[in-house]
Structure 1
Amino acid sequence: MMRNKNNSTNLSILIVDDETNIRKTLTVCLESRGHRVIAVSNAKDARAEADRRVFDLSFVDLRLGTDNGLDLIPALLSTSPWLKIIVITAYASVNTAVEAMRRGATDYIPKPFTPEQVELVTNRVAMFRSMEQRIATLKEDIERLHPEISFTSEHPDMQRSIALAQQVAPSEAVVLLRGPSGTGKTLLARAIHSWSRRADKPFSIVSCPTLSSELFESELFGHIKGSFTGALRDNPGRITACEGGTLFLDEIGDLPLIIQPKLLRFIQDHEYERVGDQQTRKANVRIIAATNIDIDNAVMEKKFREDLYYRLNVIQIYLPKLADHSEDIEYLAKNMLNFFGAQNHKVFRGFSDEAMKALRKYSWPGNIRELRNVVERAAILSISDPVGIENLPSSIAPYNPPVRLGDRVTLEVIEENHIRRIIAFSKSLQEAADILGIDQATLWRKRKQYSI
């Protein structure tokens, strides 16, 4: 994304002033700093533009011919509650400033104003909008906390996929991520967004299979109050909320057929209508999609529109299953263990040799998502460092019957097996030491001796 000279976020700005020279001066001043500007002369045109586009900031003159700019403030905010409004007027007074703020204005500058004053308030709004959008993204992520994955790999196919993602990230191209479920498509979509010029704008996820076609259309495009049963208030939709950012459509192969032409139109023209509304709107949103199905076959079976497939398939990136790049398992597992250890107030050096051998040998049908769950479980259950094989699920480390008294084994093997079992089923090292009848220092030495 372009930056202005003060490194503020680029904004979409609406100017409302009945003086031609003011509109031209403000437009030149703001566009020279990288902002996108629409300028109109009256309240009617301002409301029409606000219905069609998403704006971050509006400069509103208090005297608009026969209209009062104060009356326009709540009208604009009803359409775009996030909008920051700067009131401009040649008739400045404390009373008008207070009234403007009461109606929802963000700031107030008197005429004549200087470019420096305009730049100051614009940069302040840019900072606020950036913070609001980041907070919105964090709120969306709060229920999906995940370890941050550093996209490095020792496998040639993964290296090519990551390199392609980094190469296309700065572009505006639609990206289609393909691969089995759990291979990290959502993580890569986030990474592409973070590597792009839209990184300081929202990143939003819509899961295509989770909603009916009616609810999905409302979730994506929004709806107006009363457009269907239960529509008790306006919903701007994910596209509006994601203005300037990236919208990730997960499992797009399951997108309802009735929605597919509407999505195709949005990708091609950036235009859409909310449910129950005839007003055509525009939005600046990049699309990244993902699927785990054979979408080529879905096209042949008429379950997915061919024209939408070709429009989505500008850049295709394939993520192989984890078993196909098993050389990355150790790095991924250690990275995840550090993350989940910190979450559970523990510090781990890693996995024991026996545990890591089991992780490498397993086939991982659930791919990276399954590995994440296994490591999180191990971090919660383990009271040893490094994490031992006893903390892995039986599907990965099949349960071996313990050595029994009288078996033809050494005393050392019996002791090791007994200590491992007691530690695995104890809530703490102190409890394990008490059961074993030794002090913690002795237990610590035994753990070190047996790499428990």
Structure 2
Amino acid sequence: MKILIVDDEKNIRTSTSLAIQSEGHEPDAVDSGRIALMKMAEEPYDLVFLDLRIGEEDGLEVLDSIVKLFPNVPTCVFTAHASITSAVEAMRRGAFDYLEKPFTPGQLRNIVGMVERMRKLNQRVSDLEQQVSVQSPTVEYVSEDPAMAKVMDVLNRTAGTKAAVLILGESGTGKSVLARYVHDHSELKDKPFVTISCPSLSRELLESELFGHVKGAFTGAVKDTWGKVDAAKGGTLFLDEIGELPLEIQPKLLRLLQERQYERVGDNKTRTADVRVIAATNRNMEECVREKTFREDLYYRLNVISVTTPPLRHRAVDLKRLSQNFVRFFAKQIRRPVKEFSPQALERILAYPWPGNIRELRNAIERAVILAQGTTIELSDLPEHLSAKQERRELMPGSPVTLEELEFEHIRLVVERAENLESAARTLGIDPATLYRKRKKMDHLLAEPAPSS
């Protein structure tokens, strides 16, 4: 933790700093309340030790300012003029605890230890609240698919280190879940796990979100802000969809990884970052490097440990188990008696290629559990593109065909052979939204009976 000591006596500042440093924390000491408030406006502190008599200043008034401006920073007051009255008044005004001078190193350690435990507990509660809010079924990390089992083996062996990890794979294959798994199985599991989505913001806002900014750094920067790098201090920073990171920010991220240093936007002060970086993307990173949309040196720095999550269509051996797990979860969550699939529904689920991967499977089964009228999910409970009759209209050599049928067959072949829908859209020369609309129309046509000859 970073701990601020506010006392006008040099020997107290020195002895307290040494005691804090011996416990593995970072002390910072000042001799006035005014300077303390200025420092707290510039630096994030985890704990403040405040003297109640700082020269001509009233420590209780300084305490009032700290509580008002920095309500999340616990403040322990200490003084040589101890009394029940001053102790009660300090606690009433928001002090975390009260320590009488002269104090022993053991008494100081007790205060620091309490704050440290409180911070860990608050972080754990925050993590649990986040997990509950997502309301996702329990993730099973055991797989019968050899490729997925290899991914888990690599991640298990990597988790105990602080090496950077790059998780590749199509959208919906669970990359963010695996990033969290690595964090939870590392020595950092009690520290923050902070996510930043690279495509979600403009370049300027993304840089500020990542590194923080100072007041006045840009239009709308009305106060100092500490970014996600600082929020992840001591823990894990997860960069989701790293392939979308703007080129202008990439050198700063490279410096963060290599030198553990960064600056806030609009600030000249260099700061040290203590974070482990895990990144994920659905992009072909080697292709991005060739096209010069991603720095080669940054790619190699991120690619210390790399795994590729297989798409769901390649994990047929896991599909039935995953589907049944989703049924149990959603049946319990929405209080429905659903227990199983009909043979026809299960057959269709196992035959479908699931281009949206686990995310698409999850949504489809949640819908089916809601619509099911008994204990069994029927074929009609599945989404239309699954429940429709999936017959291919084969084009016979020499037979007359329409332009629509030719397009139909061409799209089908490209989609079947492509790695994902985005790749198929690039091959066809259309945007993914157009391909989605055409596939919906194809599903509708497939559901209609073929014309009799």
Query: Which residue in the other structure is 1:179 paired with?
Result: 169
Instruction: Specify every segment of 5 or more residues in structure 2 that has no aligned partner in the other structure, as ranges.
Output: 391-453
2:219 matched to 1:229? Answer: yes
**CA–CA distance in 2 between the matches of 1:325 and 1:207?**
27
2:341 match: secondary structure: coil
Instruction: Specify every segment of 5 or more residues in structure 1 that has no aligned partner in the other structure, as ranges.
Output: 1-10, 401-452
8 A Cα contact 2:45 2:73, kept in partner:
yes
Aligned pair partner of 2:29 in 40, 53, 69? 40
8 A Cα contact 1:15 1:60, kept in partner:
yes
**CA–CA distance in 1 between the matches of 2:16 and 2:25?**
12
Aligned pair partner of 2:294 in 287, 300, 304? 304
Query: Which residue in the other structure is 2:401 paired with?
Result: none
Query: Which residue in the other structure is 1:385 paired with?
Result: 375
Cα offset, 1:77, TM superposition: 6.7
**Cα distance, 1:76–1:283 mapped onto 2, change above 3 Å:** farther
**TM-score in terms of structure 1 length:** 0.76
Cα offset, 1:183, TM superposition: 0.7
Cα offset, 1:117, TM superposition: 3.1
Whichever residue aligns with residue 243 of structure 2, its letter is G
Query: Which residue in the other structure is 1:405 paired with?
Result: none
Identity of paired residues, percent?
A: 46
8 A Cα contact 1:52 1:282, kept in partner:
no
Query: Which residue in the other structure is 2:205 paired with?
Result: 215
Deviates more, 1:88-97 or 1:210-219: 88-97
8 A Cα contact 2:20 2:27, kept in partner:
no
2:377 match: secondary structure: coil
Deviations 1:30-79 (A, max 9, x none): 5665x423243535886787577643223333455676655665776788
Cα offset, 1:295, TM superposition: 1.0
Q: How does 1:87-236 map to 2 (within 5 A)?
A: 87-97=77-87, 100-101=90-91, 104-138=94-128, 144-236=134-226
8 A Cα contact 2:238 2:277, kept in partner:
yes
8 A Cα contact 1:15 1:37, kept in partner:
no
Deviates more, 1:65-74 or 1:263-272: 65-74
8 A Cα contact 2:331 2:339, kept in partner:
no
Aligned pair partner of 1:57 in 47, 51, 57? 47
Deviations 1:1-23 (A, max 9, x none): xxxxxxxxxx4444455666655
**Cα distance, 1:195–1:122 mapped onto 2, change above 3 Å:** same
8 A Cα contact 1:42 1:67, kept in partner:
no
Deviations 1:83-117 (A, max 9, x none): 22222222223454455446653221112234443
**Cα distance, 1:326–1:32 mapped onto 2, change above 3 Å:** farther
**CA–CA distance in 2 between the matches of 1:224 and 1:269?**
22
Query: Which residue in the other structure is 1:363 paired with?
Result: 353
Q: CA RMSD in A?
A: 3.1
Whichever residue aligns with residue 353 of structure 1, its letter is P
**CA–CA distance in 2 between the matches of 1:286 and 1:353?**
46
- How many residues align? The count is 390
**CA–CA distance in 1 between the matches of 2:57 and 2:277?**
40
**CA–CA distance in 2 between the matches of 1:263 and 1:49?**
27
Cα offset, 1:364, TM superposition: 0.9
2:266 matched to 1:258? Answer: no
Deviates more, 1:230-239 or 1:51-60: 51-60
Deviations 1:343-400 (A, max 9, x none): 2023443333332222221111111111111121122222322323322113223259
8 A Cα contact 1:53 1:281, kept in partner:
no
**TM-score in terms of structure 2 length:** 0.76
2:385 matched to 1:395? Answer: yes
Query: Which residue in the other structure is 1:321 paired with?
Result: 311
2:324 matched to 1:330? Answer: no
